[in-house]
């Protein structure tokens, strides 16, 4: 059965995704858990697709749910903006907002989203902090960050509003031989969360490996790959233009997926400017790693 998408159902869906479970979503909305469950089932019926998977620790968004989530947030933003405008209550957000990005995402994936945000909210002073997860954790602990896009460890599980699995891509210089034993690897230094999945994939493939180069800097890793020092794994948008990107290679395993999350300080839940920024950042990363929805 398919039908209209109700605003109340979309709001229950987005609240559940942000909270990570139906019970926590119900608390955020001031509703009972059965009421939220009913709304989500009604939304799934209207959409004609399953949008959430119930798991022991909460819920997981399906691919169809990820597509619907992007539209739901835009629909709700327009709905709320229209109501406020008609009532004469709309005021332009202003003041300081601080967000943190991992360097991997700040280089190529998100600048357009940040530019779009600046056009939407010209009175907002947006501070973008780029750094390692360790450095960003200290800022988050001191309450300096409103929103974090990247490593789930920065703000902790309780603040996570969205999870995304992004594929990495193997990359090496044309002069590099991926059959070299042991395999020279270009890695991000500890405590990068993407390092271990890369090592696990290589080990499961039966390859002996050695660390040929490691750095906390994306630019340094890119330079090492281009110089032919070894093979590395990067987000597709960060692969050097002169590097080989093997689609399939018997010498290398399937590249791993890595988790990117969006975390947000609880005190900003009613901030429309950060709502817009959150939507723009999620859309940018999804388009960059999976193609347009």
**pTM recorded for the entire structure:** 0.65
Cβ(226)–Cβ(243) under 8 Å? yes
pLDDT band at 248 (very low <50, low <70, confident <90, very high): low
Distances in Å between the Cα of 271 and the Cα atoms of 35, 95, 188 are 26, 11, 35
Question: For the domain 95-164+259-290, what is the CATH code?
Answer: 3.40.190.10
Residue 171: is its pLDDT beyond 50?
Answer: yes
Which of 287, 291, 269 lies closest to 278 in space, CA to CA?
Answer: 269
CATH architecture for the domain at 7-86 = Orthogonal Bundle (1.10)
pLDDT at 117 over 70: yes
- Distance, C-alpha 182 to centroid of its chain: 33
Find where tokens 């093979």 sit. 231
Whether the pLDDT of residue 130 is over 90: the answer is no
Are 150 and 162 in contact by the 8 Å Cβ rule? The answer is no
Kindly report the number of other CB atoms within 10 A of residue 24's CB atom. Answer: 18
Domain regions of the chain by residue span: 7-86, 95-164+259-290, 167-257
In sequence order, the β-bridge partners of residue 183 are: 209
More reliable by pLDDT, 19 or 169: 169
What kind and span of H or E run contains 47? helix 33-47
* Residue 159 contacts residue 267 (beta carbons within 8 Å): no
> Tell me, which fold does domain 167-257 have in CATH?
D-Maltodextrin-Binding Protein; domain 2 (3.40.190)
Question: For residue 278, which of 148, 141, 130 has the smallest C-alpha distance?
Answer: 148
Report helix, strand and coil shares of the chain as percent, to nearest 5. 45, 25, 35
Average pLDDT for residues 78-84, to the nearest whole number? 76
Same fold, 7-86 and 167-257: no
pLDDT score of 293: 35
């Amino acid at each position: 059965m398919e039908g209209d998408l109700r605003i109340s159902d979309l709001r229950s869906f987005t609240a559940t995704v942000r909270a990570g479970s139906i019970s926590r979503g119900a608390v955020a909305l001031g509703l009972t858990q059965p009421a939220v469950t009913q709304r989500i089932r009604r939304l799934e019926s209207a959409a004609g697709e399953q949008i959430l998977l119930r798991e022991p620790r909460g819920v997981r968004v399906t691919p169809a749910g990820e597509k619907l989530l992007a539209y739901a947030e835009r629909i709700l933003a327009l709905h709320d903006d229209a109501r406020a405008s008609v009532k004469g209550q709309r005021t332009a957000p202003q003041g300081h907002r601080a967000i943190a990005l991992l360097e991997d995402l700040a280089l190529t994936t998100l600048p357009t989203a940040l530019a779009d945000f600046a056009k939407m909210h010209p009175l907002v002073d947006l501070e973008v902090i780029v750094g390692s997860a360790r450095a960003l954790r200290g800022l988050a602990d001191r309450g300096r960050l409103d929103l974090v896009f990247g490593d789930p460890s920065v703000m902790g599980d309780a603040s996570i509003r969205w999870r995304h699995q992004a594929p990495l891509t193997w990359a090496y210089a044309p002069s590099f031989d991926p059959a070299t034993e042991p395999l020279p690897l270009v890695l991000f230094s500890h405590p990068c969360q993407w390092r271990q999945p890369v090592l696990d994939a290589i080990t499961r493939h039966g390859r002996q490996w050695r660390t040929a180069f490691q750095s906390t800097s994306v630019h340094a890793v890119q330079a090492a790959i281009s110089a032919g020092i070894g093979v590395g794994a990067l987000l597709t948008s960060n692969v050097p233009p002169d590097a080989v990107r093997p689609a399939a290679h018997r010498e290398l395993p399937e590249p791993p997926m890595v988790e990117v999350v969006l975390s947000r300080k609880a005190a900003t839940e009613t901030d429309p400017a950060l709502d817009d920024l959150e939507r723009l950042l999620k859309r940018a990363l999804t388009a960059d790693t999976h193609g347009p929805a």
